[in-house]
Structures are given as C-alpha cells and as structure tokens.
Chain A
Amino acid sequence: MTAARFELRKVWVPALLLIILLLLVALPYGRPGYTVVLVYTILMYIVLTMSWVLFSAPTGYLSLAPAAFFGVGIYTSATLSMKLPLPVVICIGGLASSCLALLVGALTLRLRGIYFAFFTFGLVELMKHFVLWYELKFTGTRGRFLIPVDNNTIYYVMLTILVALLLTTYFIRRSKYGLALQSIGEDEEAAAHTGVNVTLLKVITFAISAVFTGAAGAIWAIRLTYIDPYIAFDINNSFMPVLMATFGGMGQLYGPILGATVFSYLREILITRFPYYYMLLIGTILLVAILYLPNGLVGLIQRWHKRAPGGQHANT
C-alpha cells in the first residue's frame, strides 16, 4: 500500500506543479494591473526566501546578506538598463551578486554561528555606504531613475527567475551535494573528515544562491523606477527571507514557498486595509506564529494531516 501511495505521489506532484505553473503563466491575461503587480511582488519574495533557504536552511549558517545581493542587482540594473537589453542586464545582475558572494564567502565562511550573521549584516551596511560615497563623490547624484517597463514583462521575468531557482534547488537537493550541505549543518567537522570539501561547497552554494537574489534585484529596480542606496540596500530585504522561511517552516521544501506567499499577501492586505496598524498586526502575527507554530505552517499542515483518517503512518 505504501508503494502504491508512493507511485501516486510521483504522478500527482509533478502534475500539480505543472498546473500551478500554467495558471501562473496565464494569469496576466485579462487581469487588472493590480493583480499582476501583487502576484509578482509575491513571486519576488518567494525568490528572496527560496534563495536564502538554498544555502542557509541545510547548512545552518544564518545569512543576513540577501539585501546586499539584492542591492547589487538593483544597482547593476540602474547603471546598465539603458545600454543593454533586459535579459542581459538581469543575467549580469545575478553574476555581479554571485561574484560578491564568492568574495565574501571565501573570506567569511570560516566564521561560525552568530559571527557569520553579524558579518553578513555588516556587509549590507558596508555596501550601502560604499555606494552612497561613490555616487556622491563620482557621479554627484544620490539616486538614479530607470525607464519603466510594462508590468507583464516584469511578471514574466520574475516567474522565470523563480522557476530557474526552484529547479536549481530541486537538483541540488537530489544530488549528493544536497546530502553534503545537510551534513555540514549537522556536524561540519565530521563532514570534512568524511571527504566533503566543506569550504568550497559552502562558498559555491552561497554564490549560487546569490545569483537569484541579484537577478530578482535587477528586475525589481525597474519596477521601483527610482532608486538610491537606502532603497537598494534596505536591511528589511535580509530579514524578510528569514521571517518568511521560519513562518512557513523549513522542514519541507514547500514550507518557505508557502510562508513567503502567505506572509507577503498578508503584508499587502494589511498595508492597504490598515495602514496605521500594519506594523502592529504584522508583529502580533509573528509572535503568535512563533509561540503556537514552532514548525511553521508546514507543522500545522502536518498536524492536520495526521488527524485526518488514514493520514497517520508509523515511521519506524
């Protein structure tokens, strides 16, 4: 019976994913612009969260660098979008971010635990002030304008980045490197003594995750139309992925996706309906989630699943 269920899963999971993808591809047709903007905002947060999850969830290294990578993507776009075609700009944005990640990773991934978190937090501030200094000193401006692109283009670029990210995550998880990343999170010393080149693997995975954050930043810059270092290197973009992934639950791959979707949708609703109480409500929701959902939304779903008749399986 278990085998039959397993086979069934093999069929309906890809089928469900394909249906969701088709629905997302068809979404902009005949929908108001607001819906498209709302959905690509959600997609953007899923990209930020999932690329954070790609590195930080298995290894246990708490990275607060996403805002730095996102900002590098934004500035790549701001400097190049008038000179080069959009897909090229997006790719360069991703590559520039991953170069920064390679450099930072090689320097700092020997730091463990809270020190790594501190350093990556500092990196965001450093990048912000470096760019600010550069702009004031050499270009004499504080911010930059970008030529807007229509919403559907932004939507499809964001969707493409997300699909590429999810495929990358899936293949890394399935490969032996997925197992190795997990072993680093469990016991780095033992992993090294079992033949895993822990430093190289960490640096490369960190750089891969930065590609997607940077690419998302590059397209997001065009949606923002005006950017300055404070907008580009907003530290909230580092905390959001952590919050969203925790809110969704990191036990399963779909957890952070669910968390990012629900959380960014909630944010949007609360910000428009209750502009004055928005922060208070978000804070309350987070507190309740941490107190009552230690394993995030995934934990909640698994609890329901277990209660449903026939849903319970012994795992020994």
Chain B
Amino acid sequence: MPILEAEGVTRYFGGLAAVSQVDFGVDRGEVVGLIGPNGAGKTTLFNLISGALAPREGAIRFNGQNITGLKPHSICKMGLARTFQSVKIFANMSVLDNVLLGSMFGISNSVPPADAAREATGLLEFVGLSAVRAVPAKDLTLVNQKRVEVARALATKPELLLLDELMAGLNPTEVAEAMELVTRIRDKGITIFMIEHVMKAIMSVCDRIMVLHHGKKIAEGTPQEVATSKTVVEVYLGE
C-alpha cells in the first residue's frame, strides 16, 4: 500500500488551474522527486498535501486515511512533515527552540521536556548544527537555516517528509552535503518526496521522478526514463 496517494487533485487560482487532475502514489521507503518548470504547480501540490491549501476536487490519502482538507497541524500529527521553499524559520528563537517545538508538538503530544530536549539536541547533531544551537535562527546562513527547517520537520517524527527545494541557492559543496543528508534521512526509514531544480541532485538521489507542467503530470519514471523522455525534454528545452 502506498504511503501517500492522490486521485484527481485539482486546485484553481482564479481561472488558472494551478494543479489539475493529478494522480500519483509514493511508496514507503522511496525517495520521489517532483520536477517541472517554474510555475508548474509543484509547491501548490505540496501545499495541498500538507494542508496549507484545500483541493477543489480530488482526494489525498496518507497511510490509507483520507487527509483531504484537514488542517496542517492535524496532518503533521499524523506523521507528514514538510519544509518550505522560502525558508520559514522562527527567526528570533534559538536554533534549539526551533527544533524543540517540533519535538513537543509533533506526532506525540505528551513528550516529557527532558526527552524533547534530548531529541532536539540529537537532531541538531544529525544535521550538523550542534555548534550554533543557542544562536537566534535569523543569524544563520541560508544553508544552515534550511538545515534548521529539516531538523524541525524531523523532530515531529514524520513517516513522510516533503522537501521543497532544499538545494536551491546552495553552492556545489553545500549541495553535495544536502544530498548526503537526504540519503541519511532515507536510511532512518523516512519516505521522502522532494521538489528540486538541481538536476544532478535529483538524478542521483531519487528512485523515481514525477514531472509537472502547467499543473498536469506529464511524465513519471526512473531518473533515466525521465531524462530521456521526449515530452520532458520538449517542456524544458522547447521543441
């Protein structure tokens, strides 16, 4: 049974179909990539999954349960966490407090404070931020702020993690580190669904890739299949 399933998901902004009749499934343990040109509807699809927006039509199921139209906090508590394309950190809170919030309000509602602190500290180590735990999150570099978001999302103990352009704006070294981080998250047994523009990263990290264009799913398959698909090449490079 897939961990995440969508059927005919549609959302309009005014007259524009941002996401239109999209069906897909993500299997447990997979790393699935979501690509497409700017404005293809990738982030909108993530917003529909995480509950930031409600779809106009269609259904989304997580672990077999219908989550269509649920509030973001309920979806998070079911074990589905996300990061944001434009980083949304708690700027004036310390790095540790950012992550601590995830441990305290994630899938378990009653974590003893000491356990939450231990978990958060462990996750900061996992993403490599132990040295800056007491620093206000706004004082970090972009790459470290993205790591804070990942650690905060992981702190909620998700089964599925949505990563929205984790690697955008990073230099080549940082991209390599981020790819390694994604692999380590998968090794923890967490399923990953990621939007990415950095092709090198997506080709080597993902098991499967979905392509969106003008809100529609136009291709799906292994990285090789997608890279050689005629439709995909046409969408990206023109006919």
Bitwise interface map of A from 181 to 209 toward B, beta carbon under 8 Å scored 1, else 0: 01100110111111111100000000000
The answer on a CB contact under 8 Å between A190 and B73 is: no
Q: Which residues of A contact B82 (CB under 8 A)?
A: 193
Give residues 91-113 of B contacting A (CB, 8 Å): 91-93, 97, 100-102, 104-107, 113
Partner of A179, one of B51, B77, B84, B97: B97
Would A193 and B135 be within 8 Å (CB), given that A176-B105, A187-B89 are in contact? no
Interface residue? B221 (CB, 8 A): no
A179 touches B100 (CB 8 A): yes
Shortest CB-to-CB span from A11 to chain B, Å, is 22
Chain B contacts of A252 at CB under 8 A? none
Alpha-carbon gap, A183 to B101, bound state (A):
8
A251 to B102, CA, bound (A): 24
Judging by beta carbons under 8 Å apart, are A190 and B90 in contact?
yes
B186 vs chain A, min Cβ distance (A)? 21
Cβ proximity bits A164-189 to B, threshold 8 Å, 1 near / 0 not:
00000000000010011011001101
Say yes or no: is A236 at the interface (Cβ < 8 Å to chain B).
Answer: no
Interface string of A231-263 (1 = CB under 8 A from B): 000000000000000000000000000000000
B90–A187 contact, CB under 8 A?
Answer: yes
Q: Cβ of A2: which chain B residues have Cβ within 8 Å of it?
A: none
Tell me whether B211 is interfacial, beta carbon within 8 Å. no
Interface residue A139 (Cβ < 8 Å from any Cβ of B): no
Contact partner of B92 (CB less than 8 A), chosen from A180, A186, A194, is A186
Tell me if A182 and B135 are in contact (CB < 8 A).
Answer: no
B88 with A189: CB separation less than 8 A = yes
Residues 143-158 of chain B, each 1 if its beta carbon lies under 8 Å from chain A, else 0: 0000000001101100
When A and B form their complex, what is the total count of cross-chain residue pairs whose Cβ atoms lie within 8 Å? Answer: 81
Residues of B within 8 A of A176 (CB): 101, 104-105, 113, 116
Interface size of B by CB at 8 A reads 33
Hey, which chain B residues are within 8 Å of A183, CB to CB? Answer: 90, 93, 101
Chain A residue contacts of B153, Cβ below 8 A: 194
Tell me the nearest residue of chain B to A200, going by C-beta: B73
A197, B73: Cβ atoms closer than 8 Å: yes
Instruction: Provide a sorted-by-A list of 29 A–B residue pairs whose CB atoms are within 8 angstroms.
Output: A176-B101, A179-B100, A179-B104, A180-B105, A182-B90, A186-B89, A186-B91, A186-B92, A187-B90, A189-B88, A190-B89, A190-B152, A192-B72, A192-B76, A193-B50, A193-B51, A193-B81, A193-B82, A194-B73, A194-B76, A194-B81, A194-B106, A195-B73, A195-B105, A195-B106, A195-B107, A196-B73, A196-B101, A197-B73
The reply on B71 being an interface residue by CB < 8 A is yes
- Minimum distance in angstroms from B175 CB to a CB of chain A: 24
B52, B89, B104, B135: the one within 8 Å of A316 (CB) = B135
Output the least CB separation between A205 and chain B (Å): 15
List residues of chain A with CB within 8 A of the CB of B51: 193
Contact B90 A192 (CB under 8 A): no
Q: What's the nearest-Cβ distance from chain A to residue B125, in Å?
A: 19
